[in-house]
Amino acid sequence: MTEPAETQTTYEKIGGEAAVSRLTARFYELMDTVPQFAELRAMHPEDLSGSRDKLYMFLSGWFGGPDLFVEKFGHPRLRARHMPFAIGTQERDQWVACMVLAMEDVGIDENVRKVLLNNFFNTADFMRNKEG
């Protein structure tokens, strides 16, 4: 009988805490500086540090690492937390495009990026709460 192969979490595959930190930092850097993401940027406070920290904590758990967001804030309730913001296809697409660039820039493996892109798109699409 063979032992089951150990399954690595996405958190482990991409490099753990340091990689999640680089990804979230790069995501917000791109959002803050690339004109293509202006509408997305306008939805955020001037100081992005709180948003960056929350995304870092969320992604840590979502990727299979420490569940930092849940430990600090409870269940993510993503749709409810995003309801105050008018999110349509443009905002969804800007968020996903920004994350794609961030994943590429920090060197996440292409196969992992493909899986994450699908997951990110589906989650971002679920956040939509306005037409268009």
What digits encode the pLDDT tens for the residues 65-107?
A: 999 999 999 999 999 999 999 999 999 999 999 999 999 999 9
Is the model's pTM score more than 0.95? no
The residue-averaged pLDDT of 52-60 equals: 97
Cα separation, 86 vs 29, in Å, equals 22
Q: Say if residues 34 and 83 touch (Cβ distance below 8 Å).
A: no
Q: Is 46 helix (H, G, I), strand (E, B) or coil?
A: coil
- Residue 131 binned pLDDT confidence (cut-offs 50, 70, 90): confident
Domain map of the chain by residue range? Answer: 12-127
Q: Mean of the per-residue pLDDT values for the chain?
A: 94
CATH 1.10.490.10 fits 12-127, yes or no: yes
Tell me: pLDDT of 130 over 70: yes
